[in-house]
Amino acid sequence: MALRFYNTLSGQKEKFEPVEDGVAKIYLCGPTVYDYLHIGNFRGPITFNLLRNWLEFSGYKVDFIYNYTDVDDKIIKRAQEENVEAVKISEKYIEEFEKDFNRLGLKKHEHNPKVTEYMPQIIQFVADLVEKKKAYVVDGEVFYSIDSFPGYGKLSKKNLDELEAGNRVEVDERKKNPFDFVLWKPSKENEPSWISPWGAGRPGWHIECSAMIQSIFGKKTFDIHGGGIDLIFPHHENEIAQGEGRIGQTYCKYWIHNNFINLSNQKMSKSLGNVVKARDFMNEYHPEVLKYLFLSAHYRSMLSVDKEKINQVIVALQRIYSALELAHDVVEKVAEKNEPEAGFKKVLDGLSNKIKKALDDDLNSAEFISLVFEAVRAYNALGFKNKKWNAVHAGNSQAFLNWMKVYGQMSALFQEKPKEMLNQLQEILIRERKIDVLEVEKLLKLRNQARDEKNWKEADKFRDELLDMGVEVHDGSERGWTVKV
């Protein structure tokens, strides 16, 4: 199967055929840096990290832009509240975002432009639109004339004639059309401003992305533009209008949009008080949990995050990392290694083929995750009881580790040290299930005493009490306990 993506522009899956053979140019709308980002803001970076890695795995050279919007009303408002310059706010939260991004272990982008670094290019872009009669100036403010662009609405499929302008957009009598949008606006007192042909001011939001794209990729069609579905209208619709209005050709070939994140089937919003910052989530759980959670659902599906879903992810990660720990243990302790068994190698090769089919088909990460789980089940089924391992076990284990490394690097998952990761997951489950560790240790001590005295009935009683608490007891050389999964 050829690589295909669902293109919001056409409303269907399309074969990926980049403008330049062998090269994929991607732009993903980045954050407005005025606060710590919530978990939903990271669905795009995590999804598109897999996308760019899969493109590279498939033989493409990727050129990826992920921008920072560092001048915006929200940044200015925050700066005024804290009585500092706006640049102090944007610099602080770019730094904080990058800390969160790095914790996720995602691949760095080729370009991370800031809007403020591209003011000359933005001003030139607006001037080009005015010269081409695509935009007009009123009182130092520049508006894009959507009547000059017959294709307006082709991305969002909105028919503007059917919208009530007064309910949908802010009515400005100076506009030729109520849906005309701002390209440049005068700055108010104590706001950041730049000198332009229309007076001191700053850009409108929509022009910023287009200017950075055409400054870096050139004034020509590029391949993939990504973002959340909330950006389709008006932001991406306006990008198309101004981008094509300037260059007179297709702005972008493929538009890829990820869906929302809900919390317990409710939309995250400040009014509901249910906004979860990504940093808080990673501190409470682990970056691995957030990545697995997002990739276990298709990027175009709505994902509802709740305690039950998070618990399922933790249990799944436990099983995967337990298999990785076992494989590492076998490889380290068996000096001689055979080639993997033909049957097991065939299973891994078959799963690789299925992964290719899944990711080629509109980046089906949910299927990808399920296939990784199949590999874990196949490895566990090989038989490693009683630690009587041989060269065949070692060969199979090495093959499993090599296979997991390929797909772990691709998804930014499964690269933690297994023992450390399992300990962290245990700690999370203990906290989430409110297990009294002191009581567990007390019952475990009593059980061990009963076993030492060969009082098996008493020992079984304590084991059952521990099971009722959600604790599984391990005997033999690994004497201890874990949270039951």
Q: Looking at residues 114-125, what average pLDDT do you find?
A: 98
Q: Looking at residues 434-444, what average pLDDT do you find?
A: 86
Domain annotation covers residue 190: yes
Task: Kindly state the DSSP code that residue 223 receives in the 8-state scheme.
Answer: E
DSSP run (H or E) holding 331: helix 307-333
Whether residues 201 and 311 fall in one domain: no
Whether residues 344 and 464 fall in one domain: no
Whether residues 387 and 476 fall in one domain: no
Q: Which of 463, 420, 427 is nearest to 445 (CA)?
A: 463
Give 179's Cβ-side CA count (13 Å radius): 21
**What pLDDT shows up at residue 299?**
98
The number of distinct structural domains making up the chain is 3
Whether residues 362 and 443 fall in one domain: no
* pLDDT of 293 over the 50 cut: yes
**What pLDDT shows up at residue 477?**
53
Domain annotation covers residue 88: yes
Domain annotation covers residue 302: no
β-partners of residue 474 are: 480
**Mutual angle of helices 365-380 and 287-295, in 10-degree steps:** 110
Domain annotation covers residue 286: no
Domain annotation covers residue 210: yes
Whether residues 173 and 76 fall in one domain: yes
Q: Which of 78, 90, 96 is nearest to 38 (CA)?
A: 96
**What pLDDT shows up at residue 176?**
94
Whether residues 362 and 450 fall in one domain: no
Tens of pLDDT, residues 396-434: 999 999 999 999 999 999 999 999 999 999 999 999 888
**What pLDDT shows up at residue 1?**
66
Q: Is the dihedral of CA 63, 19, 54, 13 positive or negative?
A: positive
Task: Kindly state the DSSP code that residue 309 receives in the 8-state scheme.
Answer: H
* CATH code: domain of residue 156: 3.40.50.620
| Domain boundaries, position 257 | 4-267
* Domain final residue, candidates 205, 235, 267: 267
Whether residues 246 and 363 fall in one domain: no
Share of the chain above pLDDT 90, in %: 81
408 close to 368: Cβ distance less than 8 angstroms: no
Whether residues 230 and 333 fall in one domain: no
Give 111's Cβ-side CA count (13 Å radius): 22
Share of the chain above pLDDT 70, in %: 97
**What pLDDT shows up at residue 286?**
97
**What pLDDT shows up at residue 163?**
62
β-partners of residue 62 are: 24
Amino acid of residue 232: I
Whether residues 340 and 406 fall in one domain: yes
Task: Kindly state the DSSP code that residue 34 receives in the 8-state scheme.
Answer: S
Q: Is the pTM of this model over 0.85?
A: yes
Tens of pLDDT, residues 294-349: 999 999 999 999 999 999 999 999 999 999 999 999 999 998 989 999 999 999 99
Domain annotation covers residue 276: no
Which range (45-54, 277-286, 468-477) has the least confidence? 468-477
Q: What are phi and psi of 326, to 5 degrees?
A: -60, -45
Whether residues 348 and 465 fall in one domain: no
Tens of pLDDT, residues 134-175: 999 999 999 999 999 999 999 999 887 766 544 455 578 899
Task: Kindly state the DSSP code that residue 71 receives in the 8-state scheme.
Answer: S
**What pLDDT shows up at residue 348?**
98
DSSP run (H or E) holding 129: helix 119-131
Whether residues 231 and 130 fall in one domain: yes
Whether residues 439 and 415 fall in one domain: no
Tens of pLDDT, residues 195-235: 999 999 999 999 999 999 999 999 999 999 999 999 999 99
**What pLDDT shows up at residue 412?**
98
Q: Which of 203, 190, 186, 194 is nearest to 85 (CA)?
A: 190
Domain annotation covers residue 353: yes
Which range (117-121, 311-315, 355-359, 451-455) has the least confidence? 451-455
pLDDT band at 17 (very low <50, low <70, confident <90, very high): very high
Query: Bigger pLDDT: 465 or 268?
Result: 465
**What pLDDT shows up at residue 166?**
45
